[in-house]
Amino acid sequence: MSEQTKLATFAGGCFWCMVGPFEQLDGVLSITSGYTGGETENPTYEEVCSNTTGHVEAVQIVYNPEKVTYEELLDTFWRQIDPTDSGGQFNDRGESYQTAVFYHDNEQKQIAEQSKEELNQHGPFDNPVVTPVVPAKTFYPAEDYHQDYHKKNRFHYLLYRKGSGREGFIQQYWGDN
């Protein structure tokens, strides 16, 4: 990382659905789909989906903090997930689809914890936010066919996003905002 860039890492269930929203933010330089949080080195998609590696599907974002703040990234993250669900996201269930904010330094930790508390106090949810804020671990990029899936397989991606329940949830809780 150069002095002009920073890393942010978020697990929001299926990583296919997490790339597009961050791509729209000015200052986001790259987004990589991958796996993190577990102990297995260089896990494959099949291993992660077996829920035996400790890893979750996640996105790692390289961003320019002079153009987009960590707070803006967090706001985008919270609006893509159900942070009250500890068992996965929407139709995707199990360990590998759990949510998390992986912080890379103490500043990110403080901002993430404050953001989570704000969401608990003033957010649209009846249940408490259970998404953990945890230290970043080694991030392993997913296989090439998972990178930019929303562009390579647009039709299937849009069907999946709607059919999984994610799109309806976002609309219900956040509207067009």
Contact 91, 163 (CB under 8 A): yes
Q: What is the per-residue pLDDT for 152?
A: 93
Place of tokens 């953001």: 115
Instruction: Enumerate the domain spans of the chain.
Output: 6-174
Q: Which of 8, 11, 14, 48 is catalytic?
A: 14
CATH 1.10.260.40 holds for 6-174: no
Place of tokens 């849009």: 158
Residue 49 annotated among the catalytic residues of the structure: no
List the pLDDT tens digit at each of the 177 positions of the chain. 556 999 999 999 999 999 999 999 999 999 999 999 999 999 999 999 999 999 999 999 999 999 999 999 999 999 999 999 999 999 999 999 999 999 999 999 999 999 999 999 999 999 999 999 999 999 999 999 999 999 999 999 999 999 999 999 999 999 865
Residue-by-residue DSSP string for the chain:
--TT-EEEEEEESSTHHHHHHHHTSTTEEEEEEEEESSS-SS--HHHHHTT-S--EEEEEEEE-TTTS-HHHHHHHHHTTS-TT-SSEETTEESGGG-EEEEESSHHHHHHHHHHHHHHHHHSS-SSPP---EEE----EEPPGGGTTHHHHTHHHHHHHHHHTTHHHHHHHHHTT-
Place of tokens 């153009």: 67
Q: What is the per-residue pLDDT for 177?
A: 55
Q: What is the per-residue pLDDT for 2?
A: 57
| Token pair in block for residue 124 | 């649209």
Contact 152, 111 (CB under 8 A): no
